[in-house]
Chain A
Amino acid sequence: MTGQGRLAAWGIGLAALVALPFVYRDPYHLHILVLILIWSFAYTSWSMMGRFGLVSLGHGGFMGIGAYVTALLWNHLGLSPWIGIPVSMVAAGILALIVGYPCFRFRITGHYFVLVTLALSGIVLQVITATRDYTGGSLGYTPNRASGNKLLALQFDDKTTWYLIALGIWLFGIVVWHWVDRSMARYALEAISEDEDAAAAAGVDVTAEKLKITLLSALMTALAGAIYCQYQMFITPDTVSGIAVSLQMVFAAIVGGLFVSLGPTFGAVITILLAETLRIGFGTRAVGWDNLVYGVLLVLFIIFLPKGILGSLLDRLKPQRKVPRAHEQEAVQVARPGT
């Protein structure tokens, strides 16, 4: 596809997406679309660092901070989400730097990095549960309904408004993805993901580059959490933080494919439709069955289709386009520690 053709396709697709809620108004379907867009943004945020071999299972923690800090500031201090969201993003960013800096500075990579970040999301979950006097613990938390200005409180009853907001946020994520894709940082990070020592020898500041992308990714994930909270108006530690949410992000990004901008979006469409179909299919009587089937499918999928659906599809469509870069030959190459 030529550059102009690609741009035209994006334009037409976007116009159709914007026009959709004015033509089609089924509230349930719009609700699913909003969820898909918000989670797509979260998965895209994860893949920003995931595509460079930085496999984080701590993003559930960043998302939880985004959601809870925004809601807590609103309920306890009456701080508008317009201020609360940036504050929550800064909080997530600081946490990302505190955990990321020693990891990157001291070359904690591979299994070690995964386990450290995994523990991070577990700890955030513990903190939310432990501060149950403020956060409601595992019973969940509801931001107070705004009595005055709805815009100031970022609370809307109208699904169409939320759809457009979610669409904007999602588009922002895609734009950032492309911005990183075209930047010098991308080449530096690709070099790092292939060989850290060689990259360092070539003049790449390994720690700084990794920290920058981690910070960006954490900020965006916190934003996703805050938007999710404002839309759903109810959050529990299990739906916005913890190991399960982190795994869900990684899984969706891998399903969709990591190395194309729409991959995580595609992953969100598939996983959310699957979860929703299973949930409705099993009904309310069979609690847990949907997750059981979901988990089994997840394992089967990773064993039999490790490159992701969109990734595999694109590979088949244009195999002659280019020789894959070394780090693309595996879904994500994780450096071995210590050896």
Chain B
Amino acid sequence: MGMQAFLDIFDIYLLEAVINGILLGGVLALLALGLNLIFGVIDVTWICYAELVMIGMYAMYFLVQYYGISYFIAAPLTILLVALLGAALHYLVIAPLLTAPPINQLLATGGVLFVLQSFATVAFGIDFRNLGIRLPVLAFGDMNFSYARLLSFLAALVGMVAVYLFMTRTFTGTAIRAISQDRQIMALMGVDTKRIYLITSAIGGGLAGLAACLLVLQYDVHPFVGLSFGPITFLICVLGGLGNFIGGFVAAFVFAEIISLGGLFSDLEWGYVLAFAFFIVMMFIRPAGLLARRR
């Protein structure tokens, strides 16, 4: 094989990895949006966010595989379930700790992480399970794309647009945005902050549920699956600026590209390591976040 042929193949793989990175970025952006929303409005970081996704993936698995419900009916049910879980998390754990120091809130959600992981271990065992839905592979020229990734990307975009419309076009959405700007004053303006917090938590949970429906198409479920995309979501949120929705969106795609291109040369785990190294470098260049104005 001549040098030119080698380069041709390499280019195709490279382009394929770039496009796969964009597709992965959609789901990561969805996760970052949920976490950012919770942080921006309630000023709490849900360390257990990826574990909510894990529970959602199990819900999908059981609804589709065990009860034989169609994927497209199971998905809204799962989104609803995880949204309720998010609201319950806020009502039971965060609400009593709203005035507590941030470290206690973090630790409490860390405790929930333990609880959800061990709950999944007890209830479902540690076997890897998958949905058993094999979506066709899309051939485009010499490149192959998984239909599942394309679908995930589009659904993630639709989810984000829906949240955007809700936040800008409805009264509740406007109240949520107002609270994220000034927590104290909104209560005086006649907004029921408790209700807004609950709704926000439910939306955050719902986004995790949507991400679960999409990730379950590509990955096996097991109780510790959250650990493989939790840390990367945190890095995305920090790089984008916590509470900064657009920053999170951009950072998600940057990270997805790094992971995808890094995975081209070796394992996916090394892609994560590369992403972390990139993150450290970025802290020197843009310490206040990717999109922050320079002070």
CB pair B113–A243 under 8 Å, yes or no, is: yes
CB pair A119–B231 under 8 Å, yes or no, is: yes
* Chain B residues within 8 Å of A123, by CB: 231, 272-273, 276
Question: What 1/0 mask marks residues of chain A from 322 to 339 whose CB sits below 8 Å from any chain B CB?
Answer: 000000001111100110
CB pair B276–A120 under 8 Å, yes or no, is: yes
CB pair A110–B115 under 8 Å, yes or no, is: no
Given A103-B283, A247-B107, are A291 and B227 also a contact pair (CB < 8 Å)?
Answer: no
A114 sits at the interface (CB 8 A): yes
A302 sits at the interface (CB 8 A): yes
B103 sits at the interface (CB 8 A): yes
Question: What 1/0 mask marks residues of chain A from 54 to 97 whose CB sits below 8 Å from any chain B CB?
Answer: 01010000000000000000000000000000000000000000
> For chain A residues 174-227, which have a beta carbon within 8 Å of chain B?
none
- Distance of A129 Cα from B268 Cα, bound (Å): 11
- Distance of A60 Cα from B121 Cα, bound (Å): 22
- Distance of A331 Cα from B235 Cα, bound (Å): 26
Which of A139-147, A154-162, A163-171, A282-290 is found at the contact surface with chain B?
A282-290
CB pair A334–B102 under 8 Å, yes or no, is: yes
CB pair A98–B280 under 8 Å, yes or no, is: yes
CB pair B234–A289 under 8 Å, yes or no, is: no
Interface size on B, residues (CB 8 A): 47
Min Cβ gap B23→A in Å is 21
Interface size on A, residues (CB 8 A): 55
Given A130-B269, A331-B101, are A291 and B45 also a contact pair (CB < 8 Å)?
Answer: no
- Distance of A111 Cα from B103 Cα, bound (Å): 9
Question: What 1/0 mask marks residues of chain B from 226 to 257 whose CB sits below 8 Å from any chain A CB?
Answer: 01101110110110001000000000000000
Which of A23-31, A39-47, A292-300 is found at the contact surface with chain B?
A292-300
CB pair B287–A291 under 8 Å, yes or no, is: no
* 8 CB-based A-B contacts, threshold 8 Å: A105-B287, A115-B234, A115-B242, A119-B276, A123-B272, A290-B118, A295-B111, A298-B111
Given contacts A250-B103, A288-B121, A288-B122, 4 further A-B contacts (CB under 8 A): A106-B283, A130-B269, A251-B110, A291-B117
Counting from the closest, the 6 A-B pairs by CB-CB distance are A122-B231, A106-B287, A295-B114, A130-B269, A288-B121, A291-B118
Which residues of B approach A to under 8 Å, CB–CB?
Answer: 39, 45, 47, 93, 96-97, 100-104, 106-108, 110-115, 117-119, 121-122, 227-228, 230-232, 234-235, 237-238, 242, 267, 269-270, 272-273, 276, 279-280, 283-284, 287-288
